[in-house]
Chains A and B, each alone.
Chain A
Amino acid sequence: MSKDYVHTLEVKNLIARYGERQVLSDVSMTVERGEVHVILGGSGCGKSTLLKHVIGLMKPAGGSVKLLGVDLVEADEPQRNAVLARIGMLFQGGALLNSLTIRENVALPIKERTGLPDDVIDEMVRMKLGLVSMLHAIDLTPPELSGGMKKRAALARAMATDPEILFADEPSAGLDPITAAELDALLLNLKSRFGMSLVVVTHELASIEAIADRVTMLDKGFVIASGPLQEVKKKDHPMVRAFFDRASEAESRGTSVLDALSKESRT
């Protein structure tokens, strides 16, 4: 496997549309080797769309995406598949296949991507499940697991083929703070042990503080801030302030019925 690329991920002037509606406008970002890059922003700002473009699930309307040195827009099907074999993706709900056991779920990408003998695959599956402390649940099916366990099993599956870059879509969504913190710690641990890059989409402040090296912040499809977390936190952009200070809660609530009524009576 060649590792001769400069940036793990390079997005240049990406434009995305759903029909007439432009969801991403001129988005550029880079992810370097071995860093944790957090894409953040409020709901509906285009985070998930960006992620889908980056892993080639959607075709951009403009701009380019270079993943592990390969231009996904120009690459043909075999090239794209070769790149996809070197990335891992942790989906929001885990996206484990319910009809398969955890063992079969984790073995699936290895079987698909390599021609290894069955006993080696099984050994790999158990190593990966050992990494996320899920070995005890190996023969259960996803509906029998709790939310946190599903995420850990999904993480084992995302790690199955030794990815060079791991994408995680809201890893802590729907988890309690303790489980979420554990998952964050696990992600960081795996990242530092295996030296892979990590791209995390999230809006959980605690999670961002815990894991981010650099962040890219989106609002309404535009990049409004990017850089090391500590620098971005000091920016004056109103959305950045709103996000990190949560001071604008009262503002964003808007006027209440009571406000409106009292205004009515005044005028």
Chain B
Amino acid sequence: MIALEGPLTYDRVVAARAVLDGSTDEGAVVRLDLGKVTEADSAGVALLALFARSAAAAGKSVEIVNASPELRRTLDLFPFPKPDAQKAPATGKRLENLGTATVEVAELILQFMVLAADTAWFIVLGVVQRRGIRWREVLYEMSAMGSRALSVVGLIAFLVGATMALQSAQQLRTFGANIFVVDLIGISMTRELGPLMAAIVVAGRSGSAVAAEIGTMVITEEIDALKTMGLHPTRFLVVPKLLAISVTQPLLTILANVAGIFGGFLVAVLYLDVGADTFLSRLEQTLMLKDVITGLVKSVIFAQLIVSVGAISGLRTKGGADAVGRSTTTAVVAGIFAVITADAVASLVFYF
């Protein structure tokens, strides 16, 4: 016979459990005296249910004695749930997983190609038919993706340019080749770092914004609503962003070039004793228009990638608020990865 007493409530459950566990009843029927239990809540009932379960597992049964009618009523309120079914272990799924992953990648590539084709077609159609492109939206996106990124792009490029000049200064000075800092800064900023820095900043700012916007529209069924109204989501949402970023990204890149070279200029003049006139005339000699154009072409490619990756991550959103967060993360990570890969490929192509 085990006896419990007092209220069987939240704060008393741990003490009551100690009584239950401490008892050693040998018989096949465990008698539980609840005569002195004044009240019980769901925690207490849960404790009794657990006790009954463990007794049953040991081949015993529990008999409740002396419980007041009120207590019996409380015990009767709750269902006695079945224990969880054992889950079957997953085995031999490796090949299946590989197949699923392959199909997923293929789908992704297909989706990317369809998106590219759609946008190209809708832009041509919009220009030819003179309708269907939301020019106000394009302007709005240009302000969101371009002008609001001006300060951060400019600052980062300036710091990168200055840092690069500073780091190379030591080496160049050893060889008395201070003047070559102009070549270094001019060419690396315009060909590589300007476009790349601008693209990475924009991938973080706007790629995520595109994914979050479209992802939220997916889970609130706004995309379905657009389709039902006969509007193609790509035409309605992606085309304005693509047009906008195709204009703003080269402009941001030019800003990044100028800011980076200015950073290098300051370091060269103040720290490397290269005269301002010398710097500018050397820059004129070494910097080819080709370098600048190459960088700008790359920046347009990067821009397309950032918006496309953001849009696809957004469109693939499934689930709730957490899914939007995941899509946004994917958009930034995959966006930056795509930009850097494209940069590597472009460097090979333009290497002459």
Contact = CB atoms under 8 A, between A and B. Distances in A.
A116 B50 CA distance: 13
Nearest to A194: B77
Contacts of A203: none
A15 to B, nearest CB: 34
A78 interface: no
Contacts of B14: 115-117
B318 to A, nearest CB: 8
A127 B321 contact: no
Nearest to A110: B43
Contact of B10 (A116, A129, A130): A116
Contact of B42 (A115, A135, A142, A162): A162
B42 A124 contact: yes
Contact of B79 (A99, A117, A130, A143): A130
A130 B84 CA distance: 13
A149 to B, nearest CB: 15
Contact of B46 (A98, A127, A129, A194): A127
Interface residues of B, number: 26
A131 B79 CA distance: 7
A127 B79 contact: yes
B77 A124 contact: no
A162 B78 contact: no
B273 interface: no
A47 interface: no
B6 interface: no
A56 B82 CA distance: 38
Interface string A122-147: 01101111110001001000110000
Interface in B242-300: none
Interface string B79-90: 111101000000
A116 B77 contact: no
Nearest to A190: B77
A217 to B, nearest CB: 32
Contact of B41 (A126, A135, A162, A193): A162
Identify the 9 closest CB pairs spanning chains A and B, nearest first: A98-B320, A130-B79, A123-B46, A126-B81, A124-B46, A99-B322, A127-B78, A130-B81, A162-B41
21 contacts: A1-B9, A98-B319, A98-B323, A99-B322, A110-B43, A116-B13, A120-B43, A121-B46, A123-B49, A123-B50, A123-B81, A124-B43, A127-B46, A128-B42, A129-B81, A130-B78, A131-B79, A135-B81, A135-B82, A143-B319, A162-B41
Given A99-B320, A127-B80, A162-B42, 15 more contacts: A1-B9, A98-B320, A98-B321, A116-B13, A116-B14, A116-B43, A124-B43, A124-B46, A127-B78, A130-B79, A130-B80, A135-B81, A138-B84, A143-B319, A162-B43
